[in-house]
Copies of this chain bind each other. A is one copy, B any other.
Amino acid sequence: MTGNPLPFSLRQLQYVRAIAETRNFRQAAERCAVAQPSLSAQLAALEAALGVRFFERDRRGVILTPAGEALLQRVNRVLTEASELREEAKHFRDPLAGPFRLGVIPTMAPYLLPKAVPALREAFPKLVPQWVEDRTATLVAQLQQGRLDGALLALEAELQDLETTTLGRDHFLLAVPKGHAFAKGRKPIRIHALEGERMLLMDDGHCLRHQALAACREVGMEELEFRATSLPTLVQMVASGIGVSLLPEMALAMEAGRASLVLRRLADPVPYRTVVLAWRRGSHAAVALKKIAKLLRNMRHFVQ
């Protein structure tokens, strides 16, 4: 607001508090670990600066003036706030402590978070992750603006000049409804075999959409009008027999249980997305994020 320097120091306020509590300059000086004349001088300076006398000094001892009594309340409040500032700062010294804003794309969130959140809580109990689920472009923008500390993304997206560390590869599986031609058999299926299939894809803006399209770019397929905004919905559509789709492997554990859904492995070259943890170049959070990445890699949601 004003920018004008305040006419007193925190040290001076500490002296006032010590004198008020001990009612004795010598003891107050001892408590503050300064020579008693230094304390006297600082009190004099403070009283001169404020134009107010805090104490009466006479033979009977040290007496608070009415002004001193009233201002002492304020002095204590300043010192209390300052002390709490110092204490709160301690909590932030540990990079793996305090609030930590993490983004995650919708095609990973439902599969990673159920395991990642408890794991993080156990490994870094002082960390308070605040998860934000949004599309890649939004997360990248928020990282750049400093509104996120890190984000779980798929590398194939445009990550501008973010720094990243790779968590692993997430292979794509073919998801078909029960009764579909591909629903029988165990051998990996070649991408080109999908020629002519009706493909279900994520909505625009979801990187998984582009990755799936890229994986099939040489295959002539029909894209259905429906575009899913969440992967579980997409899976549901496949199970309903509306079409087929590519599903990331990390979804397997959760989605494979559906009665009317069949998941088939794809033949080499198996398409995949690279899961990374990304952050703004030079972010203070880099240290913490690398440790978080290490933890997430050990969870083995995907191929290293």
* Interface, chain A (partner B; CB < 8 A): 1-11, 13-14, 17-18, 31-33, 50-53, 56, 58, 60, 63-67, 70-71, 74-75, 77-79, 81-86, 88-90, 92-93, 98-101, 144-146, 149, 280-284
Contacts and interface: CB of A to CB of B under 8 A. Distances in A.
The 5 A-B pairs with the shortest beta carbon distances in the complex, nearest first, are A63-B146, A67-B92, A50-B89, A74-B85, A51-B93
A100 to B, nearest CB: 7
A92 B71 contact: yes
Contacts of A81: 74, 77-78, 81
B98 A56 contact: no
Chain copies in complex:
2
Nearest to A58: B282
A92 B50 CA distance: 9
Contact of A67 (B33, B77, B89): B89
Given A1-B17, A3-B18, 13 more contacts: A4-B33, A5-B11, A6-B10, A6-B82, A7-B86, A8-B86, A50-B85, A51-B90, A52-B93, A60-B144, A67-B284, A71-B88, A81-B81
Nearest to A69: B99
Contacts of A78: 78, 81-82, 85
A89 B90 CA distance: 32
A66 to B, nearest CB: 5
Nearest to A33: B3
A243 to B, nearest CB: 43
Residue among A11, A63, A84 with most chain B CB within 10 A: A63
30 contacts: A1-B17, A1-B83, A3-B18, A3-B32, A3-B33, A5-B14, A6-B86, A8-B82, A10-B10, A13-B85, A50-B85, A50-B89, A51-B92, A53-B284, A56-B280, A56-B284, A58-B281, A58-B282, A63-B146, A66-B92, A66-B98, A66-B149, A70-B88, A70-B98, A70-B99, A71-B88, A71-B89, A74-B84, A74-B85, A74-B88
